[in-house]
Amino acid sequence: MKTQSKTEVRNNTAKATKLLRGIDNEVASIGKASEALNKRVVNVTKAAAQVSTLLTGISNTALAAPVPAAKPAPKPAKPAKPAKVAKPKKVAKKAAAKAAKPAKKAAKAKTAPAKKAAKPAKAAGVKKPTVAKAAPAAKPAQPGERPALFTLACDVLGKTPEITAAAIYKTIEGMGHHYSRQSLYNCLEKPAFTKTGDGATATFKLAAGATTATAAPAAKPTKTSDADADAFVDKATANQVTATAS
């Protein structure tokens, strides 16, 4: 067997001492843990006993509780009352009264005096003749005054119709008269001019019946009075042919 040196003996002794101390510590901790486990087992046993006691009390209380009484069944609904039947005598009286009303009306109609014949109605559809208003004539410029824009536009379109507003404006400018373009556009909106197309390419010309600056003033429109219209209607109704046609 190998002999150990003093150093080895000293080291091994120190190791053994440490191991013994560790064993002692483990034994002590195991003893403490076992005591704690024993205490926990006691607590669990007490809790189990309490739980069994509580469950027994709950079961006894449930068995001793009174059973609720059943609700009474609802009463059957009352049968509906039969509808009243009208007596035959009342029905017969009402029917006789209703039948007597048309007879009374017919008797009154027979006894009533005949109404006078209505006067012959005036011929339907006869209206007062309407006369279309003629376009206003362009007034000639007085000496020393600037001619009106309407007169210039009529002169230009009387010579060269179907031209654009820009061409009319240039022509008037070339004649030595200066107006705004907006004034010319407002003038061309009058009924004396007709417009063809839209936008800058639209052309203008004098409307039918319109006059230029050199034309004679337009004739005043003729008006028809109420007396003339009534005379015309009476004449039409007096004629048997026109009266039957209406």
Residue at 120 is within a domain? no
Residue at 173 is within a domain? yes
What residue type is assigned to position 102 of the chain? Answer: P
Alpha carbons 49 and 43: distance in angstroms, whole number: 10
Residue at 181 is within a domain? yes
CATH number of the domain bearing residue 204: 1.10.10.10
Positions of the chain with pLDDT lower than 70, given as ranges: 1, 67-70, 79-80, 82-93, 95-96, 99-145, 210-246
Residue at 148 is within a domain? yes
pLDDT of residue 236: 53
Alpha carbons 179 and 171: distance in angstroms, whole number: 12
- Alpha-helical (H) ranges within the chain are 6-64, 88-111, 149-159, 165-174, 181-188, 226-238, 240-245
Residue at 203 is within a domain? yes
Q: Identify the H or E element spanning 193.
A: strand 193-196
pLDDT of residue 43: 93
pLDDT (tens digit, 9 = 90+) per residue, 32-89? 999 999 999 999 999 999 998 999 889 888 887 776 666 777 777 776 676 665 555 5
Residue at 124 is within a domain? no
Q: How many domains does the chain have?
A: 2
Going by DSSP bridges, is the β-strand pair 163-164/203-206 parallel, antiparallel, or unpaired? Answer: antiparallel
Tell me the DSSP string of 91-155: HHHHHHHHHHHHHHHHHHHHHSPPPPPPPPPPPTT--PPP-PPPPPPPPPPPTTSPPPHHHHHHH
Residue at 113 is within a domain? no
Alpha carbons 188 and 152: distance in angstroms, whole number: 11
What residue type is assigned to position 181 of the chain? Answer: R
pTM over 0.75? The answer is: no
Determine the structural domain holding residue 165 and report its residue range. Answer: 129-216
pLDDT of residue 87: 58
Residue at 138 is within a domain? yes
